[in-house]
Amino acid sequence: MKSNYILLFSALVLVFASCKKESEDPVLINTWKLIEVLADPGDGSGTFQPVTSDKTISFFADGTVTSNSILCQMSTETGTGSAGTFSEAEMSITPTNCGVSAFVITYELIGANLILNYPCFEPCREKYVVVE
């Protein structure tokens, strides 16, 4: 009887150990690729729309951020890189050289996505996933 319990316990341990965790929430310090944008027309009806873009944004442990696109505006274009700093405490990005002293982009991590919220009158957002 005792050996049956040991056998059952061992089998359960093996089953649980072999289970793969479905998904972990990503960490901010990563390189992210743009997959969708939201530009609300002003009536609250805007939704994220898929985009084809090579735009990426990378966060580094020293508090810096770089992109292969202009961070000062919402864009799917690449080629002109830019940089800035970020604050995990304030969940914000401050790009350099935007020409506006108080230009700040807020961000949030929702599931497997990074969402950038640009300072617009109507919602304008970009959605990213971690580059594999």
Give the whole-angstrom CA distance, residue 80 versus residue 76. 11
Q: Give the tens place of pLDDT for each residue, 112-132.
A: 999 999 998 889 999 999 998
Q: 63-97 burial by CB neighbour count: b if 16+ within 10 A, else e?
A: eebebbbbbbebbeeeeeebebebeeeeeebbbee
Tokens of 80: 């002109």
Q: How far is residue 67's CA from residue 33's CA, in Å, rounded to a whole number?
A: 10
Torsion, CA 75, CA 27, CA 83, CA 62, rounded to 10: 170
Q: Is 47:36 a contact under the CB 8 Å cutoff?
A: no
Query: pTM score, two decimals?
Result: 0.79
Predicted confidence band of residue 12 (pLDDT cuts 50, 70, 90): very low
Which domains does the chain possess? 23-130 (2.40.128.280)
What is the C-alpha to C-alpha distance for residues 121 and 22, in angstroms, rounded to an integer? 38
Backbone angles phi, psi at 16, to 5 degrees: -70, -35
What confidence category does residue 24 fall into, taking pLDDT thresholds of 50, 70 and 90?
low
Kindly state the average pLDDT of the residues 19-40: 81
**Across the strands, what pairs with 115?**
108, 127
Q: Is residue 21 over pLDDT 80?
A: no
Please give the pLDDT value at position 105.
96
Percent residues over pLDDT 90 in the chain = 64
